[in-house]
Amino acid sequence: MEFLGTSQTASYCGPKKACAFRALPPAGPTPETQECYQPYSLPGYRYLKSWRPSLFYKVSNAQTCVDETATCRSPLRPPTILPALRSALFCRYSPRDWDKSNDLQMRGAEASRLWASRLTGDSMRLMQDKDELTRQMQEGTCRNLGQRLSDIGFWKSELGYELERLLNETHSMETVKRRLECAADELNCPLQVALECLYHREKRIGIDLVHDNVEKNLIQEVDLLKCCQEHMRKLAQRIDIQMRDNRDAQHALERDLEDKSSAQFIDEKCYNLRNTSDCITFFHGMEKVDGTVSVPETWAKFSNDNIRHSQNMRANSIRLREEAENLLETLSDQMWKQFTNTNLAFSARISEVTDVKSKLQTQLAKTLQEIFQAENTIMLLERSIMAKECPLKVAQTRLECRTWRPNVELCRDIPQFKLVNEVFTIDDTLQTLRLRLRETQDTLQLLVMTKCRLEHELAVKANTLCIDKEKCMGMRKTFPCTPRLVGYT
């Protein structure tokens, strides 16, 4: 232990000296005693002041002995203590502490031994229980895998039978499809022409983007062609859609069969795995990954739905083959009639736009003439305003000069009145001319805006005529003949 404080030299540690006591006062009080140990704390060790040893030293408050040659210089000496004794007082434990520590150690060792013995017994029972549980669960998993393999085999046979019947029905529809494909393909060209006309007319500008008779007839023609294609796909293209549906059902059956074959292979591999197999290993965290997308009910329902969907497609195919010979002639007549009505509407619209364009050109010529006259008027007004500025300067200069007349000569005479009146008159004239100039400039701006609008309208009409007359009517010169519309090549 580190020794704290400063050492003090005891009074009896030096050479022996003769002591001579002074006579005490006869009626003096009894000598008082005080504690000799007064610890001195070093910096940073002030917290040690709270503890003191239980042993104190007493020292008399009486006069100490004097030297043979001199008396004591101080009536009281500071208390002293030996360094070795102080160190022993600071670093010793009591027997009670020693007994208490040994008792605690023995009780802790006994408790740890009892806990380890109880834990060992529980661990043995736990291992036996878990081994039995693991064996039972592994056997149950093998039984479940075997049942799963039998279910997969059953659905594979059902899917294979339905797939064979669907392929036979698809082959039977090929003959009807060839004729109806020709009729449906012939409608693509007039439908494309009608749609191109609509797209070109969408490029009309401004007010000419109107829903007129031409657009109505074009929309009717497009709707009719699409309706004819829809009927021909119940008569032509609809057969192709049905065949695509058949192929979708076929693809679903084949994919289901392929998935079940893969699942059967994987489950057989899992069924044959044992604890002694070579290919087993740890895959940590796989029990936390749930990648399943179905349950046994939805799994069986998926295959059943694929089979039912295939049966429905076969029934639809049979109905379409029976309806394929009925409506081709009537659709051909309707398309020819609508094509003629649309062309007549185009001719009428082109005539109307041409008439409006000529009228706008006449209005533009008149507007240009008015603009020329307004520009001349503005030029004359500006010259008149500039001509009035010099007389105004002369009158104002005269008034300013007359203000320098001395004393009584500053008379409000007739020239003064005339000059003031002249300034006000010229100023009023300038304001009137400037107001008329602004009105004329506003009128000119309005005429310029009118000219721009007329020029824009003429450009719009020219664009409309180009679209209707050149682009649209140029594409509508031909139309498929009746034999091609009914599917003959």
Does residue 14 have a pLDDT over 60?
Answer: no
Q: To the nearest 10°, the Cα dihedral for 92, 97, 99, 103?
A: -140
User: Of residues 451 and 484, which shows the higher confidence score?
Assistant: 451
We report the CATH number of the domain holding residue 384 as 1.10.287
Nearest Cα neighbor of 317 from 148, 175, 155, 127 is: 175
Does residue 44 have a pLDDT over 50?
Answer: no
- pTM exceeds cut of 0.85: no
Q: Is 321 inside a domain boundary?
A: no
User: Of residues 234 and 435, which shows the higher confidence score?
Assistant: 435
Does residue 80 have a pLDDT over 80?
Answer: no
The continuous run of DSSP H or E covering 34 comes out as strand 33-35
Contact 56, 18 (CB under 8 A): no
Q: What is the pLDDT of residue 87?
A: 55
Q: How confident is the model at residue 178 (pLDDT cuts 50, 70, 90)?
A: confident
Tally the domains of the chain: 1
Q: Is 210 inside a domain boundary?
A: no
Q: Is 368 inside a domain boundary?
A: yes
Q: Which pLDDT tens digit goes with each residue over 378-425? A: 898 888 888 888 887 788 787 788 778 787 777 777 877 888 888 888
Of 17-31, 113-127, 171-185, the range with the highest mean pLDDT is: 113-127
Measured CA to CA, the distance from residue 257 to residue 307 in angstroms comes to 11
Question: How large a percentage of the chain has pLDDT more than 90?
Answer: 25
Long-range contacts of range 467-470, CB-CB < 8 Å, 24 or more positions apart? 467/200, 467/201, 467/203, 467/204, 468/201, 468/214, 468/346, 468/349, 468/350, 468/353, 469/350
The continuous run of DSSP H or E covering 27 comes out as none
Q: How confident is the model at residue 82 (pLDDT cuts 50, 70, 90)?
A: low
Mean pLDDT, the chain, rounded, equals: 79
Q: How many CB atoms neighbour CB 464 within 10 A?
A: 26
Measured CA to CA, the distance from residue 216 to residue 239 in angstroms comes to 30
Mean pLDDT of 469-475: 89
The continuous run of DSSP H or E covering 33 comes out as strand 33-35
Contact 283, 185 (CB under 8 A): no
Measured CA to CA, the distance from residue 161 to residue 233 in angstroms comes to 29
Q: Is 150 inside a domain boundary?
A: no
Measured CA to CA, the distance from residue 314 to residue 242 in angstroms comes to 9
Does residue 267 have a pLDDT over 80?
Answer: yes
Q: Is 434 inside a domain boundary?
A: yes
Nearest Cα neighbor of 163 from 83, 52, 53, 257 is: 257
Alpha-helical segments (H) within 20-94: 83-90
Measured CA to CA, the distance from residue 137 to residue 133 in angstroms comes to 6
Cα 442 to chain centroid distance, Å, stands at: 53
Q: Which pLDDT tens digit goes with each residue over 123-166? A: 888 898 888 898 899 888 888 888 988 999 999 999 999 999 99
Q: Is 400 inside a domain boundary?
A: yes
Q: Is 459 inside a domain boundary?
A: yes
Q: What is the pLDDT of residue 56?
A: 40
Q: What is the identity of the amino acid at 78?
A: P
Q: Is 412 inside a domain boundary?
A: yes
Domain of 367, in residue numbers: 345-477
